[in-house]
Amino acid sequence: MTAVTLGPEGTYSHRAATAIADGDEIDFRQSVTAIVDAVARGEHDRGVIPIENSIEGSVTESLDALAEYDVAVVREIVTPIRHALLAQGPEFDTIASHSQALAQCRSYLDREYPDATLEAVASTAQGVEFAREDPSVAGIGHPDNASNGIEVLAEDIQDQDSNATRFFALAPAEERSKGGGKSTLVVYPNANYPGLLLELLEPFADRDINLTRVESRPSGQRLGDYVFHIDIEAGLYEARTKEAIEDLEKLAEKGWVRRLGSYDTEHVVG
């Protein structure tokens, strides 16, 4: 088995991938879309991408890639995110990190470094790489990235102690599973009328299926046109889920419903 995730080595996605990859070979890409593309093409058996953070919310590039490519979600990984400030020394004027990490540390950065230039880069580990090359740059990332001239200047700088991110482990579409305690659906109704969202959610409420997340993303077709990402606490194998999805498909007859798969959740520490 080979897995692919966000690089370079040392990202939180890499740490999540290591937790499920059982010592498998891990390859890296510079963006979430490139990871999903690699799995859809069958270049790798597994891909690990961030989905949602407890402070900053959805990783929108991930949601959009899941609506665009045909892949399966086979596992959910939830892990605490504890950020450190890393640099060659205290004299820097730029702080580089993933946009999610910069946002998760907003209060700390406003308070401690109000004059620093914040630079969004491809990943947290990429920001630390820049800091390693340039003393005027600091990175925000996992403290284990401190080595080869980089030190930890501050730890636990995220705005909330409970900071956590959900990741999805992806597999090629043929490996989609119906077994698992949670399922993810993507719905494009290709319609817009009063009460549409209410109607889309009723099939689940009527069958006592708990929703754990509903997120709307612009379809990209026209303003006000949305794709809905729905996570439910039920497996695709269950009769009630099958019936709810049949109702959903009728409501979305001008668009489409994609079942990304059923899966279980793994909580990984650090």
Which residues contribute to the site for ligand PRE (CB under 6 A)?
6, 11-13, 50, 53, 59, 81, 98, 100-101, 123-125, 165
Of residues 92 and 167, the one with the C-beta less far from ligand PRE: 167
Of residues 55 and 251, the one with the C-beta less far from ligand PRE: 55
DSSP string, 114-175: TTSEEEE-S-HHHHHHHHHH-TTEEEEE-GGG--TT-EEEEE--SSSTT-EEEEEEEEEGGG
DSSP element (H, E) containing 197: helix 196-206
Of residues 28 and 92, the one with the C-beta less far from ligand PRE: 28
Of residues 21 and 257, the one with the C-beta less far from ligand PRE: 21
To the nearest whole angstrom, how small is the minimum distance from the Cβ of residue 227 to ligand PRE? 20
Of residues 221 and 265, the one with the C-beta less far from ligand PRE: 265
To the nearest whole angstrom, how small is the minimum distance from the Cβ of residue 111 to ligand PRE? 20
Structural tokens at position 190: 């290709």
**CA-to-CA distance for 34 and 66, rounded, in angstroms?**
12
To the nearest whole angstrom, how small is the minimum distance from the Cβ of residue 47 to ligand PRE? 12
**CA-to-CA distance for 179 and 182, rounded, in angstroms?**
9
To the nearest whole angstrom, how small is the minimum distance from the Cβ of residue 166 to ligand PRE? 9
To the nearest whole angstrom, how small is the minimum distance from the Cβ of residue 242 to ligand PRE? 33
Instruction: Specify whether the CB–CB gap between 170 and 36 falls below 8 A.
Output: yes
**CA-to-CA distance for 15 and 11, rounded, in angstroms?**
6
Q: What are phi and psi of 27, to 5 degrees?
A: -110, 160
To the nearest whole angstrom, how small is the minimum distance from the Cβ of residue 142 to ligand PRE? 7
Structural tokens at position 221: 């077709």
Structural tokens at position 257: 């419903």
To the nearest whole angstrom, how small is the minimum distance from the Cβ of residue 221 to ligand PRE? 26
Q: Is the peptide bond before 172 cis (omega within 30 degrees of 0)?
A: no
Cα 214 vs. chain centroid, distance in angstroms?
15
User: How far from 104 is each of 101, 156, 164, CA to CA, in Å?
Assistant: 5, 11, 10
Of residues 11 and 177, the one with the C-beta less far from ligand PRE: 11
Of residues 124 and 262, the one with the C-beta less far from ligand PRE: 124
Instruction: Specify whether the CB–CB gap between 86 and 146 falls below 8 A.
Output: yes
Which neighbouring-strand residues pair with 261?
184
Of residues 36 and 81, the one with the C-beta less far from ligand PRE: 81
To the nearest whole angstrom, how small is the minimum distance from the Cβ of residue 13 to ligand PRE? 3
